[in-house]
Structure 1
Amino acid sequence: MRSGEELPLTILRDVLRGRIEGDLDTLEVAQFPGGFSNLTYLLRMGGREYVLRRAPLGPVARGAHDMAREYHLLEKIHPVLPVAPEPLLLVEDPGLLGSPFYLMERRRGVVVRTTIPPEYRDLPDAPRQMSEAVADTLAALHAVDIDAAGLRAIGKPEGFNARQVGGWAGRWRRARELLKDSGDLPPPAELRDELVIAWLEEQTPPESAHTLVHNDLKLDNLMLDPTDPAHVVALLDWEMTTVGDPLVDLGLTLTYWTMPEQPGRGVNEVGASFPGFLNREQFIARYASQSGRHVTGDSVRWYEVLGHFKLAVIVIQIFARYRAGQTSDPRFAPLAGQAEWLIREAWRRISAEATGDAGEVRPADE
Structure 2
Amino acid sequence: MASDTIPIRHGEELDTAVIEKYLREHLLNLPEDNLTIEQFSFGKSNLTYQLKIGEWEAVLRRPPLGPVAPKAHDMEREYKILKEISPHFAAAPKPYLFADETVIGSPFFVMERKHGIVLDTDFPEGITPTEEMCRTLSVTMVEHLAELHSIDYKKTKLAEMTKPAGFMERQVIGWIRRYERAETDIVDGVEQLKQWMMKNVSESETPAIIHYDYKLNNSMFNKELTQMVGLFDWEMTTVGDPLADLGVAMSYWIEPDDSDLLKRGMGKPPVTVAPGFMTREEFMDLYANKSGRNLDNMNFYQTFAYFKLAVICQQIYYRWKKGQTKDSRFAHLDQFVSSLIQYSLYTAGKKG
User: When the two structures are superposed, what TM-score results if normalisation uses the length of structure 2?
Assistant: 0.87
The 1:316/1:36 distance shift into structure 2, 3 A limit, reads farther
Report what 1:303 is aligned to: 301
Deviation at 1:352, TM superposition (A): 6.0
Other-structure match for 1:184: none
Instruction: Summarize the Cα distance change of 1:316–1:48 in structure 2 as closer, same or farther, 3 Å threshold.
Output: farther
User: How far did 1:220 drift?
Assistant: 0.8
Q: Is residue 88–residue 102 contact of structure 1 (8 Å, CA) maintained in 2?
A: yes
Give the corresponding residue for 1:210.
Answer: 207
Separation (CA, whole Å) in 1 of partners of 2:338 and 2:238: 24
What's the counterpart of residue 285 of structure 2? 285
2:271 alignment counterpart:
270
- Matched residues, number: 338
| 8 A contact 1:308–1:343 mirrored in 2 | no
Q: Give CA deviations for 1:166-204 in whole Å, capped at 9, x if unaligned.
A: 11122222233xxx4xxxxxx22x344343322211221
Question: What is the TM-score with the length of structure 1 in the denominator?
Answer: 0.84
Cα distance between partner residues in 1 of 2:108 and 2:182: 26
Match of 2:170? 163
Q: Which moved more, 1:210-219 or 1:145-154?
A: 145-154
> Structure 1 stretches of 5 or more lacking a match?
181-186, 359-366
Q: Quick one: distance in 1 between partners of 2:169 and 2:157?
A: 24
Aligned-partner Cα distance in 1 for 2:325–2:47: 12
CA offsets, 1:91-121, max 9 Å, x none? 01x1433321000010101000112233541
- How far apart, CA to CA, are the structure 2 residues paired with 1:62 and 1:354? 35
Aligned to 2:53: 45
State the secondary structure of the residue aligned to 2:154.
coil
Amino acid at match of 1:252: V
2-side partners of 1:339 and 1:32: how far apart? Answer: 30
**1:221 corresponds to:** 218
Instruction: Write the letter of the residue equivalent to 2:121.
Output: T
SS at match of 2:181: helix
Distance verdict in 2 for CA 1:113–1:25, change over 3 Å: same
Partner of 1:17: 24
The answer (yes or no) to whether the contact 2:131–2:277 under 8 Å persists in 1 is no
CA distance in 2, matches of 1:314, 1:304: 15
Match of 2:259 in 1: none
Asked if structure 2 preserves the Cα contact closer than 8 Å seen for 1:165 and 1:201, the reply is yes
2:234 corresponds to 1:238: yes
Paired with 1:310 and 1:270, the residues of 2 have a C-alpha distance of: 22
Between the aligned partners of 1:206 and 1:172, the Cα distance in structure 2 is 22
User: Are the aligned partners of 2:121 and 2:269 in contact in 1 as well (CA < 8 Å)?
Assistant: yes
Letter in 2 for 1:226: K
CA apart distance, 1:323: 6.4
Q: Secondary structure of 2:79's partner?
A: helix
> 8 Å contact 2:310–2:341 — kept in the other structure?
no
Match of 1:52, SS?
Answer: strand
